[in-house]
Amino acid sequence: MRRNPFVYYGKKALIFLLSVFLLSVTVFYISRLAPGDPLMSYYGERVEKMSVEEKETARGKLGLNEPIYIQYIRWVENAIKGDFGISFKYKQDVMQVIGSRIGSTLILGGTGFVLTFVGALLLGILCAWYEDRWVDRLLCKGGTLLSCIPEFWLSLVLILVFAVTLHLLPGSGAYDVGYKNNVLNRIEHLILPLVIVVLQHLWYYAYMIRNKLLEEIGADYVLLGKSKGLSKRKIMFRHCLRNVLPSYISLMAISVPHVVGGTYIVETVFSYPGIGALSYESARYHDYNLLMVLCMMTGILVIFCNMIGQIINEKLDPRIKATEVVETSEVTEL
């Protein structure tokens, strides 16, 4: 099918903008309609001592008294100019608050993602290679068990074993006091969270690779390859893997938000100063401006990765229609 690239990407961009718009409206309304007092995050405990009039003035100062749609329009106007307001809790520009923290999350999420991507591929191939032998069975059982363990509990157990009992690795934070610029110290702090992020997702994708490879092995061309004398390795890597990779890559593109979402919880358990702990705080204390930007960032990441996944799929394998991508991802999820 030949498409006009201009129309093709134009359409994608339009859908993207529309999704971002809908997302921002939804988050804006939900966060403001939900019960809770944003003044708490601005004034802290002092709120309880404030009189009703004082609260009113404070709300007026923060622009929270107007109807929500007017607040929304004002937010959009400012956002287009690059001004996302101040964080109620930190009394700082939202972008500054996020900027000081985003590095840690990117390192954790990025490394975790790459390790998961490569590790799952290798594990999947290993399992498919030794199908139904003890390696495969052991890994399958282990993987199922691992998928049943909640992320936070695994983190706790690892902290208990490696930090509290064995004193091998630090159990919280991103660096020790006074070692801010020490790379080794930072890496030490990164190990445990990273292990959790990787373990949590590794099996899920490895299993998908394994099953897809096994499906491929049943195909006719494998028989042909075998009959013309190709080795098992050649058939597996040159032919089968090649057919599996496109769907794997597009699946991984879609999974970026899931891996990043996983880091959010890990960060809170390890008190790792990243975006995750921040978004949790902002939602909890109704820090509207901060919450809005964090939600938009996560949302845009989700939408963007989905689109990349679709585009990769359509380019690499024209047989697959865009909608099928999500279906494959869903099957493996279960």
Partner 1 sequence: MTEKELFTVVGIRPEPPAPKKKVKRLKGFPWISGILLALILLCCLFAELLMTKEPGYLDLQNFNVAPNGEFLFGTDTLGRDIFSGIWYGGRISLTIGFLATLISTLIAVVYGSVSGIAPGWLDALMMRFTEIFLSIPGLLMVLFLQAILGQANVLSLSVVIGVTGWASIAKVVRTEVRQIRNSEYVVASKCMGGKFPHILRKHLAPNFIASIMFMVVMNVRGAIGSESTLSFMGMGLPLEIISWGSMLSLSEKALLTDSWWIIIIPGAFLVTLLMCLTNIGNYLRKSANRKESNL
In sign, the C-alpha dihedral spanning 113, 117, 122, 124 is positive
261 or 273, CB closer to partner 1? 261
| Binders in 263-302 for partner 1, by CB under 8 A | 264-265, 268, 279-280, 283-284, 286, 295, 298-299, 302
332 part of the interface to partner 1, by CB under 8 A: no
Please tell me whether residue 327 binds partner 1 under the rule CB under 8 A. Answer: yes
145 near partner 1, judged by CB under 8 A: yes
Which residue(s) pair with 42 in the sheet? Answer: none
Look at the block and give the residue holding tokens 């690795």.
169
**Of these, 262, 272, 278, 290, which contacts partner 1 (CB under 8 A)?**
262
Cβ distance 305 to 18 under 8 Å? no
**Closest CB to partner 1 among 217 and 301?**
301
Partners of residue 93 on adjacent β-strands: 86
DSSP 12-33: HHHHHHHHHHHHHHHHHHHHHH
**What is the distance between the alpha carbons of residues 280 and 270, in angstroms, rounded to a whole number?**
14
For helices 94-129 and 183-217, give the axis angle rounded to 10 degrees: 40
In the block, residue with structure tokens 């004034």: 43
C-beta closer to partner 1: residue 107 or 325: 325
Cβ atoms 115, 317 nearer than 8 A: no
Binding mask 146-185 for partner 1 (x = CB under 8 A): -xxxxxxx--xx-xx---xx-----x--------------
Positions in the binding site for partner 1 (CB under 8 A): 19, 30-31, 34-36, 144-145, 147-153, 156-157, 159-160, 164-165, 171, 254, 257-258, 260-262, 264-265, 268, 279-280, 283-284, 286, 295, 298-299, 302-303, 305-306, 323, 326-327, 329-330, 333-334
